[in-house]
Amino acid sequence: MMKHPPHEHPASALDFDHPPADPMDAFRRWFDAAHEATTVPNPNAMSVATVDPDGRPSVRVVLCRGFDARGIAFYTNRESRKGDALRVHPRACANFHWDQLDRQIRFEGTVTHTSEAESDAYWASRPRENRVNACASQQSRPIATRAALEAAVKELDERFAGQEIPRPAHWGGFRIAPERVEFWQGHKHRLHDRLVYLRQDDGRYVRTRLCP
């Protein structure tokens, strides 16, 4: 039986010459394949780039916690550095890189808050320790020592002993709407496949193959 190279997965293969009309259909196929591949350590991880209030770019790795036709969502402290950036410049780029599969997908678009109900639901699904830590940490703000951080965690954990940890008003989700979505499939000798979807005013996408 002929074996496929590590980056080729027939069930999730994308026909770059005749791609589906909706990029989220292709994304779901690749996202599922990344989860099924035992060699991919953290398939939800994506790098999210923003522009700070002073115009400087910044990027960090976060976890995708859901997606649908509206876009891809992640959750964080909205008073963090990325939250401050998105408040002033509500646009972002998210990049999934599954090196073991030789695949990348890049999303670019406007950013909005997830609903309060969505933020509540995801908050409730987190382990208690994660919720305590998220409440105790003033994300991206200076702190003197590790001991000071652990003391803040201990104080909050004791204060809510035997109780639910309420979701802070400043903690919640962001959703990146897919205005531009690019798929990249690696091949030998750098002759890769690239495909870009550009969302039009009527909600449909124009699909264009790009040179590698």
Per-residue pLDDT reduced to its tens digit, 115-152: 999 999 999 999 999 999 999 999 989 999 999 999 99
Torsion of CA 40, 43, 49, 52, to 10 degrees: -120
Torsion of CA 69, 74, 80, 82, to 10 degrees: -50
- Report the alpha-carbon distance of residue 1 to residue 16 in Å, rounded: 26
Per-residue pLDDT, 39: 87
Per-residue pLDDT, 38: 86
Please write the tens of the pLDDT for every residue from 36-61.
Answer: 998 899 999 999 999 999 999 999 99
Q: Is the pLDDT of residue 13 over 90?
A: no
User: Is-contact 175 112, C-beta < 8 A?
Assistant: yes
Name the average pLDDT for the chain: 93
- Tell me the pTM: 0.89
Mean pLDDT of 93-102: 96
How many percent of the chain have pLDDT more than 70?
95
Per-residue pLDDT, 10: 56
Helix (H, G, I), strand (E, B) or coil at 199: strand
Active-site residue, 190 included:
yes
- Report the alpha-carbon distance of residue 21 to residue 195 in Å, rounded: 12
Least confident of 4-13, 110-119, 120-129, 171-180: 4-13
Q: Is the pLDDT of residue 6 over 80?
A: no
Q: Is the pLDDT of residue 9 over 70?
A: no
Q: Where are the domains of the chain?
A: 18-126+170-210
Least confident of 6-20, 67-81, 178-192: 6-20
Confidence of residue 5 (pLDDT cuts 50, 70, 90): very low
DSSP, res 22: S
Per-residue pLDDT, 11: 55
Per-residue pLDDT, 146: 96
Architecture of domain 18-126+170-210: Roll (2.30)
How far is CA 131 from its chain centroid? 20
Per-residue pLDDT, 199: 97
Catalytic residue among 159, 167, 190, 199, which?
190
User: Is-contact 168 135, C-beta < 8 A?
Assistant: yes
How many Cβ atoms from other residues are within 10 Å of residue 103's Cβ? 22
Q: Is the pLDDT of residue 4 over 50?
A: no
Mean pLDDT of 75-84: 96
Per-residue pLDDT, 2: 33
